[in-house]
Amino acid sequence: MFAALSGNLEVTRLMLEAGARTSAVNTVGRTASQMAAFVGQHAVVSLINNFFSRDDLDYYTKPQGVEKEAKLPPNLADCVHKLILMSNLNPVKIILHVQENPESQDELVTIARLLDTLCTKFMKQSETNEVMAMKVHYQGCVLREANKWLVEKNDTLQNLMKYFLKGREKDGFPVAQEKFLRLSIRSFPYHESELLQQIVHNVAPVTVGDDPTALSILVSAINGHQSAAAENQCYTCGDLQAEKKCSACKKVKYCGQACQKLHWFTHKKICATLKAEFLKEQELAEKMKQQTLEEQEGKDIQTIHVVMYN
């Protein structure tokens, strides 16, 4: 509890790995995650809400009971564990993770089935964990979509990412990604889940194309907060602390050249429009700055007159 309150990520991680119960509450009935959120330790909240021990995963790499085969091939344990721990739920980021681990691409259905098993486990265990259940369910949806593109469509992961990134003509909003997120959320099998009802309540009134997006609502529900303002996220994969800007419009940020290159096919359609918006914003900011200076000069002159004639 105190490690979470202080924002000490390393101590919090060590305690989680040692078996600390994330559902334990203090004298006022609050968990460590809730207390950390209350004092603004959002990185700790994300760590706690997304934690899943490697030992718990390794259990599934060995046949259990009458099983002839393990639910998860041992060589995929590291890849799957990193996937489960990911706090970035952008579907493009998940697909990039699959792309970076080619050994997983032939076993996407196997991994998705394991995530289904974990989803059930999180919901049925004595201390229900709706957050992790929703998260692994959603990740399984992304993996199944990736498998569909690779196997059924005989297509590439690169094209799947472009499918998710493709923006509509007028503003670049990724409609296909939004619709996929909404379908994934609605397919969560435990309809009595309070978390599901909360997410649906927040998503349902929003027209596709408006804010907040289904992804931002899901991320907020899973991580316990809005991880970062949209302007600090990579427009392609959703990674935080994106620092590379489009050199033309200055409005869109990326975490690196690879993401910028991947996004260009759709960004180029609205880049000129965004550039015009940026220039107008700069012009307005300059006018406001000049107006502020003039007002300050006027006040300074009045002050001088008061001093001189009194």
Pairwise pLDDT comparison (111 vs 291), residue with the higher score: 111
Question: Distances from the Cα of 304 to the Cαs of 291, 295, 296, 297, 299, in angstroms?
Answer: 20, 14, 12, 11, 9
Choice among 10-24, 131-145, 268-282 with the minimum mean pLDDT: 10-24
pLDDT above 90 coverage of the chain, percent: 68
Q: What's the pLDDT at 228?
A: 45
Whole-angstrom Cα distance, residue 135 to residue 141?
10
- pTM of the entire predicted model: 0.85
Helix (H, G, I), strand (E, B) or coil at 240: strand
Q: What is the mean pLDDT of residues 233-262?
A: 94
Q: What's the pLDDT at 69?
A: 94
Confidence grade of residue 143 (pLDDT, cut at 50, 70, 90):
very high
Structure tokens at 37: 């959120």
pLDDT in tens, 219-236: 999 987 654 455 689 999
Whole-angstrom Cα distance, residue 112 to residue 179?
20
pLDDT in tens, 147-198: 999 999 999 999 999 999 999 999 999 999 999 999 999 999 999 999 999 9
Instruction: Determine the length of the chain.
Output: 310
Range 223-228 contact pairs with CB under 8 angstroms and sequence separation of 24 or more: 223/42, 223/45, 223/46, 223/49, 223/50, 223/87, 224/33, 224/37, 224/42, 224/45, 224/46, 224/49, 225/37, 225/42, 225/45, 225/46, 227/42, 227/46, 227/87
Domains of the chain: 50-213 (1.20.58)
